[in-house]
Structure 1
Amino acid sequence: MRRVERWIFSDGTPERLAAIRIGLCSVLALRLTRTVYLSIAGQPHSLYRPLSFMHLLHSMPPWGVVLPIQIVGGLAAVLAALGWRARHTLPFAWACGLFLGGMTTSLGKVVHNDVLLLLCMVPLLPAPVSDAWSLDARAGRTKPSDPMRYGWPVQTALIVVAGSYFFSGFSKLINSGPAWAFGSNMRWVLYISSDSRPSPDHWSLFIADRAWLAHLVAASILLLELGFPVVLFWKRARPAFVAGAILFHLGTWLTLGLDYWAQAATVAIVLIDWPALVARARGRSNATKGAAEGRLRTRPPDLRPEPRASR
């Protein structure tokens, strides 16, 4: 247990935390521009199926309430991504996203497209997220902090990502067992998805018509989800799991029409060490420039005689 505690509260860098702030707040800003919130605003009480804190409301909030929240929340998310007063703008943007997300999940069906994004932002709420790569840092409004304060939000976000995928796969095993991958479950899901569309979906039918391929896809999904905790202690495996998550959600969109791009983006933002990539890219750029300058300095002089001027 102490080893786990030491890992969670290990030292971090302000740049790594800032990269996650920029990425997650940018994704949230884009999500808050969706028109779905206005389309369900003011729905009749008979259609209202609240969950969690949405029970505090008797019906969907009206259009005149939703639009200002959407505008102000989106603006706060942009300012938080830029690092302007991020200790205040980030929690405010997160609260707006939570409220609007509660609206979409109060229609009788749990909608969890933005759940991972909002959960990964929770550790950032009390963290010193604007100590680097921010307008606050440029203006001198921040001070260097204990490296541990930069580390634990990143590690916690990693745990949230790994846990969300692992428990998703674990629930499949609990409810269906190995038959989820090796039974006919995946084929029926794809057939139903294709039949529910105005025209047959070729991606869904291509997989569903081939039992071996449907089993392979389902087993790959299960293996990806159950293996996700590997990213917590094996850094070299993280790019592979990022690629796997992107392919998984891309396939979900192509076959089932479910848009989980925000979740795939969240995985990439949290798992990839963006400051290290930036430093590596700068190092390669500097090495290329240095090599070019070295070639210019070592170029032999031109000893050919100058042509004589004609009289």
Structure 2
Amino acid sequence: MSRFAVRWDDFWFRPETPIALARCRIGICLGFFYYLVWTPNYLAFALNSASLGDAFHFPLGLHQYLPTPSLGTLDTLHTVFGILLVAAALGFATRLALVTATAILFYMTIPGMYGKILNFQAIPILVLGILAISPAGDAVSLDSVLRRRFKRWPFGRAEAETSGDYRWPVQFLQVFVCMVFFMSGLSKMLTSGPGWITSDNLQILLVATPVNQGCLGSWPSYLELNAWVVQHPNLLHALAAGVVITELSAPLALIPGIPRALMVSAFFGLNIGFRIFMGPTFDELLVTYMFAFIPWERVVGFVTRKLRPARG
């Protein structure tokens, strides 16, 4: 094998324990449950969109062959979707729960299509789809407990051994997150070039945001700060440059250590900035990279070790 092939194989399939994948399953499913089910925004958007009537819907791809769900159907599917997310987080019938949840969420996006696919609808579908085709329920799950007790239980494994099967899904999620940020920056450069940074584009966006997005209830909560920033063009140019540089540098997050720590911090900074100044929160993307990149089990272990002597 060539050196590139060896590194490629190591990047995707180096044997690992199932803990990181279990972390992603639990954290992402609970995070999606909070943002897509517990908070009313997602269901409200779907119901409001469905109530507009078919004349305002322009489904794309496979969606154009599916019937638009009624308000009652959406409400029921949303409840079932929440139950499936909790089941997946607990690791109960994990693959069935994730596959079904992905299919339901895919179907629920039909009313929200106005001739385009919205990013906040596409991201959770793709993320759940990645988890659905992975062995995410093999560890830290009810499936593993039930499999040890009942050999005929069809989900999970009784004893999960170190394997490359547990690495590629986490890597896939990481690559997906980097791709989202990188393609956003690339799109800016291909469409507008350096003018996206040097022009008054960002200034116009910040002025127009409260008007254009006020109907969605997601426009800036800090209007005074928004108004102050608009009055400082040089600061806006610096912010615009920071956004583009961060987005184009996103693949560096795939390098463990300092590059990853810096880039994940930058991702979080972008999310906070978008929320403060423009309204969109990209909650689903935030949840994904917070659990795909950050080894919370190591963080908890480190804190536990540090606290142990103090208690003694």
TM norm structure 1: 0.85
Work out which of the residue numbers 90, 110, 114 in structure 2 matches 1:107: 114
Say if 2:99 is the partner of 1:91. yes
Q: Percent identity?
A: 25
The letter of the residue matching 2:32 is L
1:150 equivalenced with 2:166 (yes/no): yes
Q: Deviations over 1:173-207 (max 9, x none)?
A: 11111111122111111122245559993232222
Corresponding residue number in structure 2 for 1:38: 47
Q: Which residue number in structure 2 is paired with residue 298 of structure 1?
A: none
Question: Aligned to 1:113, what secondary structure does the other structure show?
Answer: helix
Cα distance in 1, alignment partners of residues 95 and 66 from structure 2:
28
- Aligned residues of 1:21 and 1:124 also touching (Cα < 8 A): yes
Matches within 5 A, 1:190-229: 190-196=206-212, 201-229=223-251
Match of 2:153 in 1: none
The CA deviation at 1:241 is: 2.3
Q: Which amino acid aligns with 2:131?
A: L
Cα distance in 2 between the residues matched to 1:102 and 1:160: 23
Alignment of 1:32-71 (within 5 A): 32-33=37-38, 34-57=43-66, 60-71=68-79
Q: Kindly state the Cα deviation for residue 263 of structure 1 after the two structures are TM-superposed.
A: 1.8
RMSD of equivalent CA atoms: 2.2
Which residue is 2:197 aligned to?
Answer: 181
Cα distance 1:256–1:129, how it changes in 2: closer, same or farther (>3 A)? same
Partner of 2:12 in structure 1? 8
Structure 1 residues 49 and 36: alpha-carbon distance in aligned structure 2, compared to 1, 3 A threshold: same
Distance 1:219 1:282 in 2: 40
C-alpha contact 2:253 2:264 (8 A) present in aligned 1: no
Structure 1: runs of 5+ lacking an equivalent: 293-311
**Aligned 8 A contact 1:12 1:152 in 2:** no
Are 1:17 and 2:28 an aligned pair? no
Cα offset, 1:211, TM superposition: 0.7
1:128 is paired with a residue whose SS is coil
1:116 aligned residue (109, 116, 123): 123
Counterparts of 1:285 and 1:130, CA distance in 2: 31
Q: CA deviation at 1:52?
A: 2.3
SS in 2 for 1:32: helix
| Amino acid in structure 1 at the alignment position of 2:21 | L
| Aligned partners of 1:116 and 1:266 also within 8 Å | no
Offset at residue 108 of structure 1 (A): 4.2
Match of 2:292 among 270, 283, 287: 270
Give the Cα–Cα distance (whole angstroms) in 1 for the partners of residues 180 and 237 of structure 2.
23
Partners of 1:206 and 1:166 in 2: CA distance:
29
CA distance 1:95–1:32, shift in 2 (3 Å) = farther
How many positions carry a matched residue from both structures?
288
Q: Which residue of 1 aligns with 2:151?
A: none
CA contact (8 A) 2:173 2:288 kept: no
Runs of 4+, deviation exceeding 3 Å: 194-200
* Residues 232-271 of structure 1: pairs in structure 2 closer than 5 A: 232-271=254-293
Cα contact 1:181–1:219 (8 A) shared by 2: yes
Alignment-mate amino acid for residue 100 of structure 1:
M
Q: Quick one: structure 1 residues 54 and 191, their matched pair in 2 at CA, closer, same or farther if it must change by over 3 Å? A: same
* Contact 1:166–1:225 (8 Å) recurs in 2: yes
SS of alignment partner, residue 135 of structure 2: coil
Distance 2:121 2:45 in 1: 13
Give me the whole-angstrom Cα distance separating, in 2, the residues matched to 1:108 and 1:126: 29
Greater Cα radius of gyration, structure 1 or 2: 1
Deviations 1:193-229 (CA, angstroms, capped at 9, x unpaired): 2455599932322222101110011111111101110
Distance in 1 of aligned mates of 2:271 and 2:12? 28
Equivalents in 2 of 1:11, 1:145: separation in Å? 9
Mapped to 2, the partners of 1:160 and 1:18 lie a distance apart of 18
User: Is the 1:73–1:97 contact (alpha carbons within 8 Å) kept by the matching residues of 2?
Assistant: yes
